Amino acid sequence: MPLIFPGSSELTIKQPLPSAVVDKLAELSTDEPLPEAYPGDRIRLLAQSPRKLYLYWGLAQDPYDVLERAFGAQSARYTLVVRLVNTESGESTLHLASPTKSQWLDVPPGGAYRAELGLYAPGRVFIRLLSSNVAQTPRSGVARTVDASSDWNISAENFAQVLDEAGYVSDALEVTLEAVDELTGDGATRAVAGAFSDEELPAMTQEELAEMRGLLAALAFGARSESLQTILSPPLANWLERAGRHGSAVSGERLVELLRTMLGIEMSYLPQHAPAEEAMRRTARVIVGASEVNLPVHPFHLWMPSMNVGLLKSIVSLTH
């Protein structure tokens, strides 16, 4: 008999399943296919991370049966698709619906989205079957709004030093760029990106400029440009794609050299010679957003530029 000490929870014994339920479970085959139809229509859209949505659905009846009765042979032209709508901009994209009745969707961060399941044929009107809830994706980085209180406020320069000492060197590089941007009217990141590629820089909002800082840090630490394009905003994805056409233009080693010569940012050794896990961690953080891959590994250090007047003048001159 188990002892129950004062303050402990009561022990409960799991009740056996009713015999009727056991019999029904025994009747199920281990490889029985999932049903084609469900008791009712359902669709749900969930935000998994700043750049990932998860959608699942179920239909009470086969939509192609109804479509065939209505359109006859023309129904063969239709395909089951998911239309993903950005409720803020009104823009939408079409995706083939997965036969598993669930799928992942890549989206830019900081947006509100609704998914519509429907039937589509080229040159025909989209036939909507189900419409989901609106899912909001969070920002991909730290908000630019800071606490003005002296008790809690920390400058980007000091925050970069904290990240560097904690082992998050690639994140420290991103915040270092933000620190220099604060002192140069957002000129530093534009100057480095402009020197990195001959392609003309797109007009960037503050959100996209922050995204550019993250992109430069990811590239400097060995992230592949192909893996980044799908999760960037359209202006930056197009710019990176054009830069990649020049072959060696998208080079992490070249970018590190630009950071050193233009901004005075030094590293204890090149990121490309660092443990491979650091580049993997950085890429995984950008693409997946999962906490288990956001841990620092054997750290190396970043020496940040001195924020002096001479440096600032040289940086600003590069932007004109």
| pLDDT tens digits along 92-145 | 999 999 999 999 998 888 899 999 999 999 888 899 999 999 999 987 665 666
Claim to verify: residue 179 and residue 279 sit in the same structural domain: yes
Outline where DSSP puts E strands in 11-72: 42-49, 52-58
Q: Does a structural domain hold residue 26? A: no
The CATH number for 101's domain is 2.60.40.10
Q: What is the residue type of 218?
A: A
CA 185 to the chain's CA centroid: 27
32 in a structural domain: no
Alpha carbons 190 and 210: distance in angstroms, whole number: 11
112 closest CA partner among 45, 203, 42, 212: 45
User: pLDDT tens for residues 161-211?
Assistant: 777 777 777 778 888 888 888 888 888 899 999 888 888 898 888 888 888
High-pLDDT (> 70) share of the chain, %: 68
Residues 66, 100, single domain; the answer is: yes
Instruction: Kindly report the pTM of this predicted structure.
Output: 0.56
Q: Domain check: are 126 and 194 in the same one?
A: no
**Domain-embedded: residue 126:** yes
Within a domain: 306: yes
HSE at residue 243, side-chain half, CA atoms within 13 A, is: 27
Confidence of residue 284 (pLDDT cuts 50, 70, 90): very low
Instruction: Let me know if residue 48 belongs to a domain.
Output: yes
Are 55 and 104 found together in one domain? yes
Confidence of residue 227 (pLDDT cuts 50, 70, 90): confident
Per the structure, the count of domains in the chain is: 2
Neighbours of 320 (CB within 10 A): 6
Same domain membership, residue 282 and residue 169:
yes
Q: Are residues 246 and 109 in the same domain?
A: no
Parent domain of 102: 42-136
Q: Does some domain include residue 36?
A: no
